């Protein structure tokens, strides 16, 4: 049982599958989730995942969470949805205690606003709250290549106490499909939130490679 309050902001960069899977995992860990979705993110969800959401009557099931997750361990009220322009939401205030925030994926525009302390929407404000209250803030920026402005904004957020966690996949854990790659990034986010997970096969050194039947040939076959 997790029993934590985690804030999630989904913005309009490519890679919304990371956010949906993250919500799934946090639900399974019985976290209390406060969710905001930017205007552009609705379009990306529809384009990349064929998910159409109604912000006026939001239902977590609309996100396309796995049926097992929804039917077995999705108690009502565990996901609290906040319109992204509602500055009266609890997460807009530092007096509302939370255990961390993740912006996933994070656009460069969102990164720039957070780095400069500009509040154009609730995601920006909630992120600023986490920085000023010295709580965990994790940004998952999805852009390539990166300009000097992007890098400087990342440096600013890092110096302010935030964590920049690019969704960079690894292959040493034996990834076989897209879900494995998504799980790797989500696992790293959960690690930063200090939420136990077994989403990936973790690297444990050369001795474990032999113990698990890995060799250079099989590793290259898996990775390639």
- Beta bridge partners, 80, equal 34
Cα separation, 22 vs 190, whole angstroms: 8
Cα separation, 137 vs 145, whole angstroms: 23
The whole-angstrom distance between residue 155's C-alpha and the CA centroid of its chain comes to: 20
Instruction: Give tens-digit pLDDT for 123-136.
Output: 999 999 999 999 99
pLDDT of residue 66: 57
Query: In degrees to the nearest 10, what's the CA dihedral of 34, 11, 162, 1?
Result: 30
pLDDT of residue 71: 41
Cβ atoms of 49 and 20 within 8 Å: the answer is yes
Q: pLDDT band at 221, cuts 50/70/90?
A: very low
Helices 39-49 and 16-28 cross at an angle (nearest 10°) of: 90
Judged by DSSP in three states, 106 sits in strand
Lowest model confidence (mean pLDDT) among 168-172, 181-185, 204-208, 211-215: 211-215
Residue from 198, 183, 192 nearest 99 by CA: 192
What is the average pLDDT score of the chain?
Answer: 88
Cβ atoms of 144 and 53 within 8 Å: the answer is no
Q: Give the residue-averaged pLDDT of 191-201.
A: 93
Cβ atoms of 182 and 175 within 8 Å: the answer is no
Cα separation, 16 vs 20, whole angstroms: 7
The alpha-helical segments, DSSP class H, found in the chain are 16-28, 39-49, 67-73, 108-116, 122-132, 148-159, 178-192, 206-211, 216-223
Judged by DSSP in three states, 198 sits in coil
pTM: 0.88
Cα separation, 71 vs 4, whole angstroms: 21
């Amino acid at each position: 049982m997790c029993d934590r309050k985690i804030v999630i902001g989904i913005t309009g960069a490519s890679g919304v599958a990371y956010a949906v899977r993250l919500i799934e995992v946090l639900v399974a860990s019985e976290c209390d989730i406060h969710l905001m979705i930017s205007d552009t993110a609705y379009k990306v969800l529809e384009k990349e995942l064929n998910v159409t959401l109604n912000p006026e009557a939001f239902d977590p099931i609309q996100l396309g969470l796995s049926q097992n997750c929804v039917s077995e361990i999705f108690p009502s009220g565990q996901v609290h949805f906040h319109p992204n322009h509602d500055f009266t939401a609890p997460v807009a205030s530092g007096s509302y205690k939370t255990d961390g925030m993740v912006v996933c994926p994070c656009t460069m525009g969102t990164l720039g606003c957070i780095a400069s302390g500009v509040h154009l929407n609730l995601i920006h404000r909630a992120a600023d709250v986490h920085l000023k209250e010295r709580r965990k803030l994790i940004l998952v920026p999805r852009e390539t290549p990166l300009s000097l402005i992007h890098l400087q904004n990342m440096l600013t957020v890092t110096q302010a106490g935030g964590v920049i966690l690019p969704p960079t996949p690894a292959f040493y854990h034996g990834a076989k499909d897209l879900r494995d790659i998504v799980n790797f990034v989500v696992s790293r986010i959960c690690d930063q939130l200090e939420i136990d997970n077994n989403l990936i096969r973790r690297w444990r050194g050369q001795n474990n490679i032999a113990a698990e039947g890995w060799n250079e040939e099989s590793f290259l076959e898996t990775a390639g």
